[in-house]
Amino acid sequence: MRSAWLTLVAAALAYAAAPSFRGCENKVKDSLHGVPQGWVQQAPAPQDQLIQLKIALAQPSAHELEKHIVEASDPAHERYGQFLSKEEAHELMAPEQGSVDIVREWLATHGLGEEHLYNSAAGDMVTIRVPVAVAESMLDTKFHVYTHAASGDSAIRTTAYSLPELLHDHVSFVQPTTMYARFKPMRSTMHFAGGVKATLAAGSVKSAAGQDVDASCNDEITLSCLQQLYNFGDYKPSTNTTLAVTGYLEEYANNADFQQFLGDDSANFTTTLVNGGKNDQDPSAAGGEANLDVQYAFGVAQPLAGTFYSTAGTPPFTPDKNEPTNGNEPYIDWLDFVLNQTSLPSVISTSYGDDEQTVPVDYAQRVCQGFQTLGSRGVSVTFSSGDSGVGDGSSDPSSTTCIANNGTNAIKFLPAFPASCPYVTTVGATQNVPEVAASFSGGGFSNIFARPSYQDDAVSAFLTGLGDTYAGLYNASGRAYPDVSAQGVNFDIVLGGSHTGVSGTSCSSPAFAGVVALVNDARVAAGKATLGFLNPLLYGAGAGAFNDITSGNNPGCGTEGFSAGTGWDPVTGLGTPDFDKLKTVALDN
């Protein structure tokens, strides 16, 4: 295999340009102002190191996808709830044949034939595995090994790449090249390790909605606490509605822990392996993130069937093996897989992300479009909002970690991605009873995506009250998040056979997703479609179905961050769900 790739290197470096590319100059396709903060350039990448690259082809019908989801998610539109099939979605995702042909011709000039290409189900993405030397020739760049100082993670990246000018209208991006995102779990802390649990208070306290809730829920959150807080304890699902959570970075969900958590030896969930993913059931391999997600998403929605998607990939890279490096851009692989399925879950929760500015704009837009496509097929997509408040989680005025990577080195709030995508429902965190904002709850305004119309009234009201506070630190016209919130502190989970506590918006997203699955079940039982993309309903008729959280803030970037208040805010969104009210709204629309 090694000699075959070295032969390819020689062929690629000595190719004669195909007629279409003769005299065609290279033009920069993407570039950074410098090495992103926190990353350090090391040695040049080994020339024979294999790397995996994804070439995204232009999608001329993407605007039709957007039109469809706007109509299908608007309760006032006649097409509300009319979702696309897999085939219909693929047709709108597909590139023009001319784009396919010119990209194949370009790849052939570098010694890459059909046997070297993997095409996505819709044909809009081509994946190649090539030695660094070939990639450098193709992209007119130099790759280096970069190390992330805080985590020790390494990656092969560049700060700029070029393509023949002829390709620019046909290729949206080639990644990971200029992408420095690490896509980490949105989990802030773990404690109670070794099975040592907190001393639980007795008696009851009042929730924000005035309901009696066990006082112990101020010490740790359990399924019973969520049932009491969010008013779904008496609901009994009656359909085959399903839900799912995603797992990355070799986070494995342990079934024995799941059964112990629920106290039910017959409890189970389905594991679907994506792109070579695994789900090691050795107790020592159980992942805190994965266990948290399945135990609370599927626990809230029990007995609805749950699926755990395990997508391959590990964050570190050791540049001494002749095998493909981990691209650490798992969303494209996962989206390609799931969008090629005929039947999909009614709701999918993900608790991973990173700073938006570490993600190239074109990549972020394509991934967000993938979530948009899921919504157009009837899937509600939820994401954790992040655990760093408005940036780095620090209110210390001397904090200098929130630096814009646009060349100005200005202090800026740092929004998270995919939390900032306007086609997902982003979930922030609360704590205590009655609920207040958790200080780590991620929230803010996108620098990539414009504010969607469904948010205009709610966000404009917040901005009017904010006035000039933090002017220049955030993009007031950007997509605002979170959309909603749920408890996110001291969740009791089972990990490796022992109880431990977990905090973070990683807790909030699966908990909220479980509630949405129950609402979808009620709609299906009534002969209606699942909700699909949630936000237009939530910001409209559904706004009154949430417990408004009016206390707390989310510090970061040397500030106290935004403050929770009456109505929507970029700490807790619209608030936490009242299942009974949300079900009523969903059935009335």
pLDDT over 90, % of the chain: 78
- Does the active-site annotation cover 250? no
Q: What pLDDT shows up at residue 202? A: 86
Three-class SS of residue 168? coil
Q: Are 99 and 228 in the same domain?
A: no
pLDDT over 70, % of the chain: 92
Residue of 120, 154, 506, 563 with catalytic role: 506
Interstrand relation of 154-157 and 144-148 (parallel, antiparallel or unpaired): antiparallel
Q: Is the per-residue pLDDT at 6 higher than 60? A: no
Is 323 domain-assigned? no
Q: Are 175 and 235 in the same domain?
A: no
Interior angle at CA 481, CA 475 and CA 486, nearest 5 = 155
- Does the active-site annotation cover 310? no
Q: Is the per-residue pLDDT at 192 higher than 50? A: no
Predicted confidence band at 167 (pLDDT cuts at 50, 70, 90)?
very high
- Domain containing 431 — which CATH number? 3.40.50.200
Q: Indicate the residue among 179, 196, 221 that finishes a domain.
A: 179
Q: Are 156 and 241 in the same domain?
A: no
Mean pLDDT for 237-241 is: 97
Interior angle at CA 353, CA 515 and CA 148, nearest 5 = 155
Q: Is the per-residue pLDDT at 587 higher than 90? A: yes
- Using alpha carbons, list the distances in angstroms from residue 199 to 216, 219, 363: 9, 8, 47
141: containing domain: 2-59+94-179
Is 327 marked within a binding site? no
Is 327 domain-assigned? no
Q: Are 534 and 509 in the same domain?
A: yes
Q: Are 443 and 463 in the same domain?
A: yes
DSSP state for residue 96 in the 8-state scheme:
P
Please check whether residue 301 is in contact with residue 243, taking contact to mean a CB–CB distance below 8 angstroms: yes
Is 82 domain-assigned? no
Predicted confidence band at 317 (pLDDT cuts at 50, 70, 90)?
low
- Verify cis geometry, omega within 30 degrees of 0, for the bond prior to 418: yes
Q: Is the per-residue pLDDT at 279 higher than 80? A: yes
Q: Are 116 and 200 in the same domain?
A: no
- What distance in Å separates the CA atoms of residue 363 and residue 546, rounded to the nearest whole number? 33
Is 65 domain-assigned? no
Please check whether residue 84 is in contact with residue 73, taking contact to mean a CB–CB distance below 8 angstroms: no
Is 248 domain-assigned? yes
Q: Are 144 and 283 in the same domain?
A: no
Q: What pLDDT shows up at residue 401? A: 83
- Using alpha carbons, list the distances in angstroms from residue 369 to 66, 69, 99, 580: 8, 11, 19, 32
Predicted confidence band at 520 (pLDDT cuts at 50, 70, 90)?
very high
Q: Are 135 and 240 in the same domain?
A: no
| Span of 41-45, 249-253, 392-396 with lowest mean pLDDT | 392-396
Q: Are 279 and 412 in the same domain?
A: yes
Please state the domain count of the chain. Answer: 2
Is 549 marked within a binding site? yes
Q: Indicate the residue among 124, 147, 179 that finishes a domain.
A: 179
Strand partners, 56: 125, 173
Backbone phi and psi for residue 26, each to the nearest 5 degrees, phi listed first:
-75, 145
Mean pLDDT for 541-555 is: 97
Q: Is the per-residue pLDDT at 529 higher than 80? A: yes
Q: Indicate the residue among 160, 179, 198 that finishes a domain.
A: 179
List pLDDT tens digits, range 441-467. Answer: 999 999 999 999 999 999 999 999 999
List pLDDT tens digits, range 61-77. Answer: 999 999 999 999 999 99
Helix, strand, coil percentages (3-state) for the chain, rounded to 5, are 30, 25, 45
Q: What pLDDT shows up at residue 187? A: 61
Is 53 domain-assigned? yes
Q: What pLDDT shows up at residue 18? A: 59
Q: Are 218 and 100 in the same domain?
A: no
Per-residue exposure over 315-328, b if at least 16 CB sit within 10 Å of its own CB, e if not = bebeeeeeeebbbb
Q: Is the per-residue pLDDT at 7 higher than 90? A: no
Q: Are 193 and 165 in the same domain?
A: no
- Does the active-site annotation cover 3? no
Residue of 136, 257, 289, 435 with catalytic role: 289
Is 294 domain-assigned? yes
Residue of 293, 354, 521, 578 with catalytic role: 293
Predicted confidence band at 394 (pLDDT cuts at 50, 70, 90)?
confident
List pLDDT tens digits, range 81-116. Answer: 999 999 999 999 999 999 999 999 999 999 999 999
- What distance in Å separates the CA atoms of residue 446 and residue 420, rounded to the nearest whole number? 6
Q: Is 117 exposed, middle or buried (0-12, 13-18, 19+ CB in 10 A)?
A: middle
- What distance in Å separates the CA atoms of residue 476 and residue 445, rounded to the nearest whole number? 7
**For residue 205, what is the enclosing H or E element?**
strand 204-206
Predicted confidence band at 163 (pLDDT cuts at 50, 70, 90)?
very high
Is 415 domain-assigned? yes
Sign of CA dihedral 569, 512, 180, 400: positive
Predicted confidence band at 13 (pLDDT cuts at 50, 70, 90)?
very low
Q: Compute the mean pLDDT over every residue in the chain, rounded to the nearest whole number.
A: 91
Q: What pLDDT shows up at residue 199? A: 74
Q: What pLDDT shows up at residue 305? A: 98
Q: Is the per-residue pLDDT at 79 higher than 60? A: yes
List pLDDT tens digits, range 494-507. Answer: 999 999 999 999 99
List pLDDT tens digits, range 405-417. Answer: 888 888 899 999 9
| Span of 279-283, 394-398, 475-479 with lowest mean pLDDT | 394-398
Q: Are 199 and 245 in the same domain?
A: yes
Q: Is the per-residue pLDDT at 152 higher than 70? A: yes
Is 219 marked within a binding site? no
Is 354 marked within a binding site? no
Of 145 and 185, the structure prediction assigns the larger pLDDT to 145
